[in-house]
Amino acid sequence: MGNCQAIDAAALVIQHPCGKIERLYWSVPVSEVMRMNPGHYVSLIIPLPVSEQDDKEAHFTRLKLLRPRDTLALGHAYRLITSQEVMEVLKAKKYAKTKRQQQHMESNEQLEHEQGDLQTQVTEHERRRPRTAPAMSSKSWRPSLQSISESAS
């Protein structure tokens, strides 16, 4: 009585794609779980933090695929994922990355085009500007004074 939470913390949970929940009370290597479930990968379920505003919203999780040499630890939840699902996620990530790179390249090209237009406008302005006398040299101008003769009165 009252030790249910202690028992749950001392177990690891594996969710199967069919909805079946499996509880194990000992650590087990990922490779063993994969051997018992051919065509599946094991992922750690990482709950995302939920703000107080989103209490009525669904709680989202993130999955982290584990390597066969990893070990499932007590107190954590894991999910079996089919090979097909893994491939779909990888394709979606690759597509998103390619799309991001393409958008980045397009924005760079647009920026270069705008800079080229600005440079063209500056050179056209320079051509249209009326020419003025060349700037004076760095020496300051001094008037040359002729000898002033004083008349004797």
Question: Which SS3 state, helix, strand or coil, does residue 78 take?
Answer: strand
Does any domain span residue 43?
yes
pLDDT tens figures, 25-65: 999 999 999 999 999 999 998 887 766 545 555 556 778 89
pLDDT tens figures, 66-92: 999 999 999 999 999 998 888 888 888
- Domain at 28, CATH number: 3.10.20
Does any domain span residue 132?
no
Does any domain span residue 94?
no
Whether residue 125 is predicted with pLDDT greater than 90 in this model: the reply is no
For the chain, the domain total comes to 1
Mean pLDDT, residues 88-111 taken together: 86
- List, in order, residues 6 or more apart from 30 with CB less than 8 Å away: 42, 66, 67, 68, 69, 70, 71, 72
Whether residue 118 is predicted with pLDDT greater than 90 in this model: the reply is no
Does any domain span residue 24?
yes
Does any domain span residue 33?
yes
Tokens, residue 66: 């584990």
Does any domain span residue 63?
yes
73: region left, alpha or beta (phi > 0 left; psi from -120 to 50 alpha): beta
- The range of the structural domain enclosing residue 42 comes to 8-82
Whether the model clears a pTM of 0.75, i.e. scores above it, the answer is: no
Does any domain span residue 146?
no
pLDDT tens figures, 13-31: 999 999 999 999 999 999 9
Does any domain span residue 2?
no
Average model confidence (pLDDT) across the chain? 78
